[in-house]
């Protein structure tokens, strides 16, 4: 039985990955920020082992990795909300860099020529990087060869950590991969992200619990995929013959306005009657469109995005509608 360690296991990506690995027969371990029940893990929480750990403490990280003896590590834990990264830039960058550095140190020190930890010998590591590393990109679409040009503390931290992973692979021979993940959504997406603000807002407006929804630039475009499929891509990277970095994306963009049209339309509503633009939420426009070229992932990993954009939006708004209905029934 293979053993996998997932940092940030209770988040959107971690929960989908945990379900995937459990289904494949892995013994799964995960780190969480706090003890207790985790809604995203309700399907598998009794089948995985959870712990709280300070990923910035090198000794604790090494001791935990050694005790788990994983074949694979998936490092997903991060401070993930880009706008808030400007409030504490040093903390965001430090977490990205130091947590990756500590895990890489554990991986390289606990694998050959030292006694192997996992049954397979060398521990394989996946790092969840982000399309934010491209920021003010010099080309579009962006591929693995596109130069990094981050324009937020979140992007800066991800870029530095991705370079550390590459260095560990090329200089120290570690089996370490980075997935440069473009936006990926699901009903488990955090409520502070624009996609969940839209789907939950539409559902609340239909129920009369909310009158309007404030958003930023409705014409902003994103490359949006389905998170469960991106978890599959993470697993595939660590099953490849050789470690490498991969862009994971759909290769197409849609606007926030399109997202609103589909979400409200699914509930029989006209978004234009309810959505208001709040200038405080508007980010500076990108000089070059961020859209991923995942042709390398298709060629090497046999992976490509499958869920059409309209289906993703409908899935999310239906889940939020059901959640609000259930909450209302419980409160009666």
pLDDT (average), residues 295-321: 98
Question: Are residues 135 and 218 located together in one domain of the fold?
Answer: no
- pLDDT tens, position by position, 108-126: 887 655 544 544 568 999 9
pLDDT (average), residues 216-221: 94
Instruction: With respect to residue 150, please indicate whether it lies within any of the assigned structural domains.
Output: yes
Number of residues written out for the chain:
332
Split into its structural domains, the chain has a count of 2
The catalytic residues are: 130, 132, 154
Instruction: With respect to residue 303, please indicate whether it lies within any of the assigned structural domains.
Output: no
Q: Which residues contact 291 (CB under 8 A, 6 or more apart)?
A: 140, 141, 142, 182, 221, 223, 249, 251, 252, 253
Instruction: With respect to residue 301, please indicate whether it lies within any of the assigned structural domains.
Output: no
Question: Are residues 97 and 168 located together in one domain of the fold?
Answer: yes
What angle, rounded to 10 degrees, do the helices at 89-109 and 153-172 form? 20
Instruction: With respect to residue 300, please indicate whether it lies within any of the assigned structural domains.
Output: no
Question: Are residues 108 and 127 located together in one domain of the fold?
Answer: yes
- Domain region containing 30: 3-185+224-248
- The CATH number assigned to the domain holding 321 equals 3.90.25.10
Question: Are residues 157 and 272 located together in one domain of the fold?
Answer: no
Q: What pLDDT is recorded for position 115?
A: 47
Question: Are residues 89 and 43 located together in one domain of the fold?
Answer: yes
pLDDT at 82 over 70: no
β-partners of residue 75 are: 7, 127
Q: Which residues contact 122 (CB under 8 A, 6 or more apart)?
A: 111, 112, 116, 174, 175
Task: Give the residue carrying structure tokens 């003896």.
Answer: 69
Q: Which residues contact 198 (CB under 8 A, 6 or more apart)?
A: 213, 215, 256, 259, 260, 263
- pLDDT tens, position by position, 4-38: 999 999 999 999 999 999 999 999 999 998 888 89
Question: CA-to-CA distance for 104 and 172, rounded, in angstroms?
Answer: 10
Of 160, 141, 144, 140, which Cα lies nearest the Cα of 152? 160
Q: Considering just the CA atoms, what is the radius of gyration of the chain in Å?
A: 20
Q: For 209, list phi and psi in degrees, rounded to 5.
A: -90, -5
Question: Are residues 218 and 165 located together in one domain of the fold?
Answer: no
Say whether the peptide bond before residue 141 is cis (omega within 30 degrees of 0): yes
- pLDDT tens, position by position, 166-185: 999 999 999 999 999 999 99
DSSP three-state, residue 240: coil
């Amino acid at each position: 039985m293979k053993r996998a360690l997932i940092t940030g296991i209770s988040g959107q990506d971690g929960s989908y990955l945990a379900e995937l690995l459990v289904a494949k027969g892995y013994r799964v371990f995960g780190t969480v920020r706090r003890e207790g029940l985790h809604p995203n893990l309700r399907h598998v929480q009794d089948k995985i082992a959870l712990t709280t750990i300070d990923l910035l403490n090198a000794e604790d990280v090494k001791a935990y990795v050694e005790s788990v003896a994983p074949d694979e590590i998936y490092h997903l834990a991060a401070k993930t909300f880009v706008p808030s990264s400007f409030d504490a830039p040093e903390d965001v960058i430090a977490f990205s860099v130091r947590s990756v550095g500590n895990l890489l140190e554990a991986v390289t020190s606990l694998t050959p020529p030292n006694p192997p930890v996992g049954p397979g010998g060398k521990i394989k590591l996946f790092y969840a990087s982000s399309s934010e590393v491209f920021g003010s990109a010099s080309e579009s679409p962006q591929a693995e060869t596109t130069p990094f040009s981050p324009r937020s503390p979140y992007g800066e931290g991800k870029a530095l950590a991705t370079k550390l992973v590459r260095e560990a692979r090329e200089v120290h021979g570690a089996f370490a991969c980075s997935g440069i993940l473009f936006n990926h959504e699901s009903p488990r997406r955090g409520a502070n992200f624009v996609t969940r603000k839209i789907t939950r807002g539409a559902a609340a407006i239909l129920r009369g619990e909310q009158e309007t929804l404030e958003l930023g630039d409705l014409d902003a475009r994103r490359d949006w995929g389905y998170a469960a499929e991106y978890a599959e891509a993470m697993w595939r990277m660590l099953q490849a013959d050789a470690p490498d970095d991969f862009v994971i994306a759909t290769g197409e963009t849609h606007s926030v306005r399109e997202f609103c049209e589909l979400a409200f339309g699914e509930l029989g509503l006209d978004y234009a009657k309810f959505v208001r633009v709040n200038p405080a939420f508007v980010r500076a426009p990108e000089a070059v469109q961020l859209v991923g070229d995942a042709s390398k992932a298709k060629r090497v990993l046999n992976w490509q995005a499958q869920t059409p954009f309209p289906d993703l939006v409908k899935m999310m708004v239906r889940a939020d509608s059901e959640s609000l209905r259930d909450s209302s029934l419980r409160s009666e």
